[in-house]
Every structure is written in structure tokens, then in C-alpha cells.
């Protein structure tokens, strides 16, 4: 159990470090993904 918790902790630390290192690019990708999702859901609703 302790090993699993340690691995999860390390993963979160590495992930947060990666995101903070690529903040601007990550935000751009998230914004683009949200826009695409909205467009797809809109088309599905119209259909």
C-alpha cells in the first residue's frame, strides 16, 4: 500500500512539473480541445 502511494505521489509530482514547464502550450491544447468538443456536441444535437 505504501509503495502504491509513493508511486502515485511521484507520478503527480512529475506530471505537475511537466504541465508547469509547458503551461502555455498545454492551455492552447486544452482550449482547442474544448472548442472541438463543443462543435462536435453541437453537430450531434442538431442531428
User: Which pLDDT value is given to residue 45?
Assistant: 55
If one compares 29 and 1, the residue with the highest pLDDT of the two is 1
If one compares 18 and 5, the residue with the highest pLDDT of the two is 5
**Do you know the residue count of the chain?**
47
Select from 19, 41, 39 the least CA-distant residue to 29.
19
pLDDT (mean) for 20-29: 58
Core vs surface per residue 24-34: b (16+ CB within 10 A) or e: eeeeeeeeeee
CB of 19 closer than 8 Å to CB of 26 = yes
DSSP 12-43: HHHHHHHHHHTHHHHHHHHHHHHHHHHHHHHH
pLDDT (mean) for 14-26: 66
Task: Give how many domains the chain has, as a whole number.
Answer: 1
- Segments forming the whole domain that contains residue 12: 2-46
Amino acid at each position: 500500500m505504501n509503495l502504491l502511494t509513493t508511486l502515485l505521489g511521484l507520478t503527480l509530482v512529475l506530471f505537475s512539473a511537466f504541465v508547469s514547464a509547458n503551461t502555455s502550450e498545454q492551455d492552447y491544447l486544452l482550449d482547442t480541445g474544448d472548442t472541438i468538443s463543443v462543435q462536435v456536441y453541437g453537430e450531434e444535437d442538431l442531428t
